Amino acid sequence: MEKDFATVIMAAGKGTRMKNSEKAKVMFELAGKPMIQYVVELALALKSSRVITVVGFQRESVIAHVRKVSPMVEFAVQDPQLGTGHAIMQAKMPLHDFEGNVLVLSGDVPLLRQESANDLITFHHTSQAVATILTADLEEPTGYGRILRDEAGHVVGIVEEKDATPAQRKVQEINSGIYIFDSVRLFEALSHINAKNAQGEYYLTDVFGYFWAQHLKVAAKKGAQFNELRGINTLEQLQEAERLVLGRNIA
């Protein structure tokens, strides 16, 4: 039987490049509704037993809108914002008695299809992995983290573009930033990561290094379309996403 799962949505960011310092990034509208609404509606459609939205910048506006979408959504506050790993750490208290899996979504990735998310969850349940990464193949993967696999196809690394060797840069399988974890292992790993990097932030991807050091299995589910995985960081990207939504061409 499949375990219950909770969904944690990262929605604390400022959106510096959106050119409006008074508005939370996830509250920018896409085809008539804020980006965060798409992600919350996805979590609900997936039948998450818990939905926790991690809020930060301009959180009052985000909370007010999400409560209108669904009163079942819970909130955790990330203040200050110290990276993706730090965001998920804020969900530890609300989930302290939860033993299922944790699906991690991003409030600024609003085009993910329910089918792709369901495929990720199903694959995770059959993989016997502590974590499963949603990935996609890109002909031009420049700028994205690459998924590294061994000869048997097992995931053995994630390397960022700036750190990749010339051979690794030829890898076309990219990390979407969407994951599902065993909750106990996730929070165990988060307690072992640090912010000793140029940005002084806690990166969620650092938990994978901990998993591999503990000889724990990490899986990856390939198959999502790139358009579903578009993160929205600029007004230009928002306009492109709107074109995809209005054209019903997000697959």
Single out the residue of 46, 49, 42, 35 nearest to residue 4, CA to CA: 49
17 is catalytic: yes
Chain-centroid distance, C-alpha 23: 21
**What is the C-alpha separation between 58 and 55, in angstroms, rounded?**
8
Question: Do residues 159 and 204 make contact, with C-beta atoms less than 8 angstroms apart?
Answer: no
Who's near 54: CB < 8 A, 6+ residues apart?
Answer: 8, 9, 10, 11, 12, 75, 76, 77, 78, 87, 88, 90, 91
**What is the C-alpha separation between 127 and 137, in angstroms, rounded?**
20
Question: Do residues 110 and 227 make contact, with C-beta atoms less than 8 angstroms apart?
Answer: no
Map tokens 């200050």 to a residue: 80
Determine which one of 17, 67, 169, 243 is catalytic. 17
What SS3 class is residue 139?
A: coil
Q: Which residues are identified as catalytic?
A: 17
